[in-house]
Structure formats: C-alpha cells, structure tokens
Amino acid sequence: MSNKPSIQVFRPTFRVEECLDEIRQCLEMGWSGMGFKTVELEKAWCEYTGLSHSHFLGSATAGLHLAIKILAKKHGWQEGDEVITSPLTFVSTNHAIMYERFSPVFADIDEHLCLDPESIESRITPRTKAVMFVGLGGNTGRLKEVQELCQRRGLSLILDAAHMAGTRLDGEHVGKQAEVSVFSFQAVKNLPTADSGMICFASEEDDQAVRKWTWLGINKDTFARTVVQGSYKWYYDVEEVGFKYHGNSIMASLGLVGLKYLDRDNAYRRQMATWYKELLSDREDVQFIPMGPGCETSQHLFQLLINNRDEVVSQLASNGIHPGVHYRDNTEYDMYAYGNGTCPNATKVSASTISLPLHMGLTRSDVETVAKTLSSILDMHCASQRAICA
Ligand SMILES: Cc1ncc(COP(=O)(O)O)c(C=O)c1O
C-alpha cells in the first residue's frame, strides 16, 4: 500500500448520529417530503441569518432560476434583456439567466475574484435589468459598492450566495444587500446535505410567489393541507406552469444538524486558511486573495494564484494531494464564448487559480503537508526556470 497521503479538496463531515436521529423522526412520522423538517429549517435559517424569508429548495441552481424568473415577471423584463454577471463561477449562475432567455453579459472581476463595480458600470446598456453577484469562496468582495450601484442605476441585485453560508458583512449575515439571495447546501458546501439550497427574497410577495413556483404552480403545499388543516383539501388551484424544485425533509434533517455547527466549522476553516497563509507567507510566487472590506468569510475555498498551475496541480496529485480549480472563466466554454476576451482579469485568474484542500477532516499536520509539498513543487519550477534563463 502506498504511504502517500490522500488529501482531497473537499470532503463533507456529517454528525452521523444526530443526522440519523433527525431523519428517524421523518421516517417514524411517515413524512419525508416537503413540509415538517423543511418548515423547521426555513425557520431556523431565518433566525440564524436574520433574513426575513427563506424557502428550502432541491438545489441552488433551481433557486437561481426562480430568482431570475420571479424578478423578471415582477419588473416586466423582456426576452433578450441583459443580466450582468461573473465569468468566474460555476455554470449554474449563468445558466439560470439563459433558462429564461435573458442574456448574460460578462463583467470583469477584481482582486477579490468578485465582480468589479467599475467593470459592471461600463457594461450597463438600456437593456440591463440586473446584476448577478457571486460571493466566490465566501468572499463579499465589493458587494456594498455593487448594491449602491444597483440602487443608483435602478437594477435588481441577485446574490449567488452558494458559497456564503455563514459569511458576515459588517457583523451581519450576508443576504440583505440583494433583492434575492440563493444559498447552496450541496454535498461539499459549508452546510452540506446531499443536494439542496435556500432562496431568500427580501419581499413577502416574492417569497409567496416562489413557494408556488417550486411546487408546480400549486397554490398550497400538501403539508399545510393535510397536517395543518387536518383534512385533505385536494381542490387546490394551479396558478402557473411551475417546477418540482422544492426541498424535502431528509435533506432538511441534514441541514438542521449542520446549521448547529456552521459557525464553529467556519471558524475552523478560517483557522486553516490562516495556517496556509503563515506557511506560505515567505513565497513571492504565491498570491493570496484579499477579503472584501467588512467581510468575515465562510471560507468555503482557500484560493491562491500561482504560475504553471496545471503542472503544479498534477504534481500535487502524484503526491496524493488533490486541489480544485474554481473556476474556469465561463467565456472559455462554447456556450458563453461570445464573451471571450471581454474580461482579461478573469482569463488570467482562470489560468492561475488553485483551491487548496479545505475541509473539516483536515488537521494542522495535513495543512503543513499540503503547504510543504506545494512549496517544494514551486521551488522545483523556480529552479528549472532559472536554469532555462541561465
Ligand atoms: C457559485 C455557485 N453557484 C451556484 C451553484 C449551484 O449550487 P447547487 O449545486 O446547489 O445547485 C454552485 C454549486 O457548486 C456554485 O458553486
């Protein structure tokens, strides 16, 4: 057997007995679908974040789609209208805009790897309706400036907060800055389930609307009809051609347990980031990503910028260390190639970003192993480059 470490970029930690206890309640009650634990989690998420509305979903991708759909209907957007968005994100962010036949317009990123307010401003046209801001890795970047810009220019602000469970801005949980914020509780996120998410609208009316859209357009949920009202009122109305996007009680059970540990877990993530920074601080060939002003990050990712990224990643892999890359510039994909060349910072970062392993199963000694191995690989590159130059 190889004695090399096997250190993955992500690995979720579940408090197994507590999760099983929550899930057992669902199984014993005979209620594993929407309602029961999903209602408990929505309430707990509102209490935890201070946000006024939360609706539990099957995924954040579903939430981003409905964020676009509901705001478009409310504000009267027309097919082909534009949403300014980030090229450095998971494709869900931009697919959500495409699902509703609007046009993603890419603006460039800044040193926080989030949308740059100046670049956003330069991309506004008469067809621009909204800005989709991605809190990459949990960083708030210059979100407050973007919020002010959206207010000034009459644009909706959607926050892709997939990485931001537990991120605080000026001491308060992030989310209030936007008309709608969407969090992911997918398997490797800070609050892991298997697949689920939460959509948080600022307005009561939008929150009511999203509850219909996530259940096929039906205007009442089954739990309310059977358990709350006591008799099965099957004579419901269907007001929209909605989707099957709501979350279920098994996922919510995992979320309820995870939420109790979220702050503690995120504090440990930030501790690991501090260790990485200390261990790599002497290197001139490693660039750290600064947090935005007022940001206490969820530290979903620990990203660096380095040269020869692809070679370094494969050399780390041959040493049993498996980092990630978040993300490829979306304009490198066929779907979004029309934006290629419009965001030079994103293109550069796409070629040089690496996410070091960061999860609750790692110890200080694992972090040291990763940092030491990375350092010696970078030293080798440095030496070979000097040899070429000489
Ligand atoms: C930035 C970003 N947005 C959206 C999503 C979609 O989340 P989900 O997998 O819950 O649909 C992800 C998931 O990785 C993401 O990283």
The Å distance, Cα 227 to ligand 1 centre, comes to 33
* Atom of ligand 1 at shortest range from CA of 63: 11
Distance CA 106, CA 338 (A): 10
Q: Work out the mean pLDDT of the chain and round it to a whole number.
A: 95
CB 176 within 8 A of CB 147: no
CB 75 within 8 A of CB 129: yes
The Å distance, Cα 343 to ligand 1 centre, comes to 22
Three-state secondary-structure class, residue 115: strand
Same domain flag for 215 and 335: no
DSSP 248: -
Distance CA 108, CA 371 (A): 30
- For 133-146, what is the mean pLDDT? 98
pLDDT band at residue 229, thresholds of 50, 70 and 90?
low
Q: Tokens standing for 226?
A: 């059977």
Same domain flag for 178 and 286: no
Does residue 3 lie within any of the structural domains?
no
Q: Tokens standing for 366?
A: 């694992």
pLDDT of 388 reads 55
pLDDT at 174 over 80: yes
CB 304 within 8 A of CB 285: no
Please list the alpha-helical segments (H only) found in 157-308.
Answer: 204-213, 222-223, 249-280
pLDDT of 134 reads 99
The Å distance, Cα 160 to ligand 1 centre, comes to 8
Residue indicated by tokens 């890359």:
325
pLDDT of 390 reads 44
Same domain flag for 240 and 284: no
CB 129 within 8 A of CB 69: no
Tally the residues of the chain: 390
pLDDT of 142 reads 98
Q: Which of 55, 68, 86, 90 to mutate to test the pocket of ligand 1 (most atoms within 8 A of CB)?
A: 90
- Of the three residues 200, 231, 257, the one that is the final residue of a domain is 257
Does residue 135 lie within any of the structural domains?
yes
Q: Which of 55, 59, 61 to mutate to test the pocket of ligand 1 (most atoms within 8 A of CB)?
A: 61
Q: What are phi and psi of 171, to 5 degrees?
A: 85, -5
- For 297-314, what is the mean pLDDT? 98
Residues with CB under 6 A from ligand 1: 59-61, 89-90, 92-93, 134, 160, 162-163, 184, 186, 197
pLDDT of 117 reads 98
* Single-letter code of the amino acid located at 160: D
- Provide the residue range defining the domain that includes 362: 262-389
Percent of the chain with pLDDT over 90: 90
- Total count of domains within the chain: 2
CA nearest ligand 1 atom 16, residue = 90
CA nearest ligand 1 atom 8, residue = 60
* Atom of ligand 1 at shortest range from CA of 188: 14
* Atom of ligand 1 at shortest range from CA of 134: 1
Does residue 11 lie within any of the structural domains?
no
Does residue 308 lie within any of the structural domains?
yes
Same domain flag for 206 and 237: yes
Domain harbouring 310, CATH code: 3.90.1150.10
